[in-house]
Amino acid sequence: MRSFLGRDILSLKGFERAEFEHVFEVCDELAPIARNRQNAGLLAEKTLLTAFYQPSTRTRLATEAAMHRLGGHVLGFSDAKMTRAGDFYQESIKDTVHMLEYYGDVIAMRHFEQGAPAEAAKWASVPVINCGDGWGEHPTQVLTDLYTTKKELGTLDGLTFLLVGDMRMRTMHSILYAMSQFDLEAYVVGPPEMSLLPEFKSELDELNVRYTEAPSVAEVIADSDVIYMEPVVQPDYTKSRDERGEAVGTTPDAYRVTRELLRDQARPGSIVLHSLPRMDELPEDVDATRHARYWSEAFNGVVMRMALLALVLGAME
């Protein structure tokens, strides 16, 4: 297994099974700190820099909370418009990162351009963590999803995932790459205009990822252990900001998971994960069912970022 010390976390493509398992073990070790609402001193001498060029509630704050839980320092920006990258100068990633690397010991970056965190990693002498890049990938979210699945169902082998939503979405890319390392298979359900792109399908074929495209949630929910959701009504992730216009569409029934569908057709032990925020694809009355696990993910999301920060900064091996 490659060392995590000083490593960039940019993609789950190439992330090996032993590495997933090691990250999950470190999560288990650090989880009591978060569960007891303590702030430990593991990273007391380190500083996290958050560079968020796109809005975020969960990813930025969970990463910052993780750093606080480990006793570290945090600084950064959550709106690039307040930096020189977002005004007249349109400062490049290269020039920006050459500054940021002196302000912090690890950079957590979200960007509307696919590949921006990888570009940053080329120029930064400190580790860069991809917190979502355009339609590209969202590795810390999917590590959280997989850790949650392991905690809730006890295994990551022998399960069937139902992936529903916009298949161009960064989480869908990361989770399908991750599936190559486990005995998992997936049903993939999304509108035809949001289906997996041919070049991505070729990559999945090269990795022997097992998936079947299906027309609707209703057709495959009875055969699924993990229902993994993203909206189909969502913003353009290649924009720095995409505010809601007057009219937004509603989600066709084929891509919704309702309380009634779960009651009548889902496996009793199946779980629903959603990276959030949601639109109407996941009605709020699902929250009270035994299937909902997206709130446990909020806790696990902090623990996962604690593990990643501790590993790349060398506080855990």
Task: Indicate the burial class of 23 (C-beta count within 10 angstroms; 0-12, 13-18, 19 or more).
Answer: buried
The residue count for the chain: 317
Count the Cβ atoms, other than its own, within 10 Å of residue 286: 22
Asked if 144 touches ligand CP (CB under 6 A), the answer is no
DSSP state of 185: E
Asked if 148 touches ligand CP (CB under 6 A), the answer is no
CB closer to ligand CP, 219 vs 242: 242
Asked if 275 touches ligand CP (CB under 6 A), the answer is yes
Q: What whole-number distance in Å separates Cα of residue 276 and Cα of residue 295?
A: 10
Site mask for ligand CP (CB under 6 A), range 183-212, x = bound:
------------------------------
Asked if 132 touches ligand CP (CB under 6 A), the answer is yes
Q: Which of 216, 263, 241 lies closest to 56, judged by CA?
A: 241
Among 50, 141, 270, 300, binds ligand CP (CB under 6 A): 141
CB closer to ligand CP, 58 vs 69: 58
Among 153, 218, 254, 276, binds ligand CP (CB under 6 A): 276
Helix, strand, coil distribution of the chain in percent, nearest 5? 40, 15, 45
Asked if 57 touches ligand CP (CB under 6 A), the answer is yes
CB closer to ligand CP, 59 vs 224: 59
3-state secondary structure (DSSP) of residue 204: helix
Tokens standing for 18? 């032993």
Among 39, 56, 238, 240, binds ligand CP (CB under 6 A): 56
Asked if 59 touches ligand CP (CB under 6 A), the answer is yes
Binding site for ligand CP (CB under 6 A): 56-59, 132, 141, 275-276
